[in-house]
Structure 1
Amino acid sequence: MSRPARADFDLAALRANYAHAKAVHGGKVAATLKANAYGHGAVECARALAGQADAFAVAFAQEAMELREAGLTEPILVLEGAFGMDDVALAQRHGLWLVVHQEEQLRMLESLRGGGAVHAWLKIDTGMHRAGVAPGQARALWQRLAACDKVAGITLMTHLASADEPGNPMTGRQLAVFADATQGLPGPRSIANSAGVLGWKGAHQDWARPGIMLYGADPRGTPSDVLQPVMRLASEVFVERWLAPGEALGYGGSFVADRPTRVGLVAMGYADGYPRVVPSGTPVAVDGRLTRIIGRVAMDMLTVDLTDLPEAGPGSEVELWGSQVSVNDVAAAAGTIAYELLCNVKRVRRVYLHP
């Protein structure tokens, strides 16, 4: 029998989440598949969305080429843009859209000789102060792009820094800066990430670029009645034992039983991507019933409390996150965000449902 740790991916849920993003935002939606589709499998997710998605978005050109080599023909936006002329050449040959967020990337396009034209997305820094041209430079760089015969079209874009915080005035300021910097410039606009789609109508422009919401997690960390989790991380109990009151469990003895405690040993650890730092009390579901992790997560296994689940034991299924246990809740327990947990899943068997 193979080790029971696995990740199930519900591709019908992915398609439903994409449809929801498109319905809420309106306009066109580029499905963000960077970082191996946030750990879900970029090729498998792209194939599931083929014919439904208006475009895909990835971080860098090599991620785009993985999709092209798998036969995906939809437009692909490269969010980090070109790192060198080899990336520009790939964009020419394979119809990739390139973000331009610094003048050096513009000069690469201006230096092109021969080959086809490339669609450019001019990124404006409206307040994140990470990547993007200064608002005061946007008009001049747009004019240079428009004058370049190797630029097939221009989309204007920015990225929101705090849209997952509904009360933060930063997003309103960014929207105002973007409107001012692009006033009078023709062409489509793109502002909204997942949080922008879900919480900021002012960010609903021609294109959205949702990521985490496609995989069923609300970026604001709140429960959602609409988004469906795509990944279900699961395993099984394979050993059980009892602790007497006062006995400690696992590395460091961080959990000490205060009553007779039945412990289930589960084939899942931090080498599989489950976070080591979660404390005792972090929720899990065993055979569909909620219980808790107890003790410290180890490299290959963790321990759960079976005391109040008399029917559970070796062979019982354990959901670490999915439809019963929110990945946002596990992320909160770990002091991080769902994005990191999903991206870190590895080593487990991967099962794709409803392709």
Structure 2
Amino acid sequence: MSRPVVASLDLQALRHNLSVVRRAAPGSRVWSVVKANAYGHGIDRIWSALKETDGFAMLNLEEAILLRERGWKGPVLMLEGFFQAEDLALFDKYRLTTTVHSNWQIKALQNARLHAPLDVYVKVNSGMNRLGFTPQRLHTAWQQLRALPNVGDMTLMSHFADAEKPDGIREAMVQIEQAAEGLGCPRSLSNSAATLWHPEAHFDWVRPGIVLYGASPSGQWQDIANSGLKPVMTLSSEIIGIQNLKPGDTVGYGRLYRATQEQRIGIVACGYADGYPRIAPDNTPVLVDGVRTGTVGRVSMDMLAVDLTPCPQAGIGTPVELWGNEIKIDDVASCCGTVGYELMCALAPRVPVVTV
């Protein structure tokens, strides 16, 4: 029998979440963001569940080629554009839309030999200070690109740093409006948070990522509890050992947890080598046989311990949900001082993945 830890992907939930996005932004087309191997879900496993999207957005050229080879004929947006001028031959062959955020990319497009023009997303830096032309530089860059025979349709793009807050896009929108004055161009500005909470930023294309997978862009599940979004990934395992502690007994490396009374604990086949966070503190939520309880002691490479006080019926082979429909990945991440994005992307290759 194989080790019991497994990640289950609910493809119907993925399709449902895309419909939630469409209801939130009914006047916009949707780029489904599948970067980081579809946020750890596996692009090859899930893309067909999102085939009703208007386009896919990602970073890796290899993943874009995979989509084309699997039969996707719609738009593909490369969110960081091309990394070397030589990449443009493959952008041309596979008909990929490229982001342009730097002067050297304009020069590369000018010098490239393409069979047909490439559609371009011109990125303006509206305060994130990662990629993009400054607002003062945008008009010049736009006109330079517009003059190139190798450039087809052009769209203005930006990315919000703080869209999960009620006024989090206000300053960025001012910069974008000033930068785009007179261009009269299509726009793609909204990430997951802006798609849900800032309809004034929807424009022509929205770019949802984390919400497609059923987690919150703010990192707090309660912020999307009434949105209709459903978790896609469930990480589950089983109890493989039972320990009966006496007062004073300790659990795990470093003896960080010490029992204050007689206590029964279960040992679960899941650890940090599976992608569960090593830094998870005591009482990180876990579901054992349908009962909510918490972890105890330090997470090991292959195992973690859970308190069985609320579930005395649990024994060897009892099912455990680490995150999923009942234990929200955002709640686990919050206990660990991180966000659900990281836990999804950290799912280890050794964990079997099944689609439901």
Distance 2:87 2:164 in 1: 32
Q: Is contact 1:159–1:191 with CA below 8 Å preserved after alignment?
A: yes
Partner of 1:348: 351
SS in 2 for 1:293: strand
State the one-letter code of the partner of 1:248: T
SS in 2 for 1:285: strand
SS in 1 for 2:221: coil
Distance 2:35 2:92 in 1: 20
Partner of 1:161: 161
Residues 306-317 of structure 1: pairs in structure 2 closer than 5 A: 306-317=308-319
Change (3 A) 1:120 1:6: same
Unaligned runs of 5+ residues in structure 2 are none
State the one-letter code of the partner of 1:101: H
Distance 1:307 1:250 in 2: 18
Distance 1:329 1:162 in 2: 20
Aligned: 1:197 with 2:205: no
SS in 1 for 2:266: strand
Q: How far apart are 1:274 and its partner, in Å?
A: 0.3
Q: How far apart are 1:309 and its partner, in Å?
A: 0.8
Distance 2:167 2:272 in 1: 35
Residues 271-282 of structure 1: pairs in structure 2 closer than 5 A: 271-282=273-284
Partner of 2:18: 18
Q: Using structure 2 for the length normalisation, give the TM-score.
A: 0.96
Q: Deviations over 1:267-305 (max 9, x none)?
A: 000000000001111100011110010111000000111
Q: How far apart are 1:115 and its partner, in Å?
A: 1.6
Larger displacement relative to structure 2 (226-235 or 140-149): 140-149
Q: Is contact 2:31–2:56 with CA below 8 Å preserved after alignment?
A: yes
Q: Deviations over 1:300-350 (max 9, x none)?
A: 000111122121111111000001111111111111111111000011110
Distance 1:56 1:283 in 2: 34
Q: How far apart are 1:129 and its partner, in Å?
A: 1.0
Partner of 1:85: 85
Distance 2:134 2:319 in 1: 53
Distance 2:140 2:46 in 1: 38
Q: Deviations over 1:62-116 (max 9, x none)?
A: 2212222332222110001011123211111111000001111111111122422
Larger displacement relative to structure 2 (281-290 or 41-50): 41-50
SS in 2 for 1:82: coil
Partner of 1:67: 67
Share of identical aligned residues, percent? Answer: 44
Larger displacement relative to structure 2 (194-203 or 26-35): 194-203
Structure 1 runs of 4+ aligned residues shifted over 4 Å read: none
Q: Is contact 1:55–1:76 with CA below 8 Å preserved after alignment?
A: yes
Change (3 A) 1:222 1:166: farther
Partner of 1:298: 300
Q: Is contact 2:31–2:55 with CA below 8 Å preserved after alignment?
A: yes
Distance 1:181 1:60 in 2: 29
State the one-letter code of the partner of 1:37: A
The alignment's C-alpha RMSD in Å is: 1.1
Q: Deviations over 1:99-146 (max 9, x none)?
A: 001111111111122422100000000111110001111111111111
Residues 316-355 of structure 1: pairs in structure 2 closer than 5 A: 316-346=318-348, 347-353=350-356
Q: Is contact 1:254–1:296 with CA below 8 Å preserved after alignment?
A: yes
Q: Is contact 1:9–1:231 with CA below 8 Å preserved after alignment?
A: yes
Q: Deviations over 1:13-49 (max 9, x none)?
A: 0111111112102210100000000001112221111
SS in 1 for 2:99: strand
Q: How far apart are 1:205 and its partner, in Å?
A: 0.9
SS in 2 for 1:107: helix
Q: Is contact 1:239–1:266 with CA below 8 Å preserved after alignment?
A: yes
Q: How far apart are 1:167 and its partner, in Å?
A: 4.7
Change (3 A) 1:55 1:257: same
Distance 1:55 1:114 in 2: 22
Unaligned runs of 5+ residues in structure 1 are none
Q: How far apart are 1:186 and its partner, in Å?
A: 3.1
Partner of 1:32: 33
Distance 1:74 1:237 in 2: 45
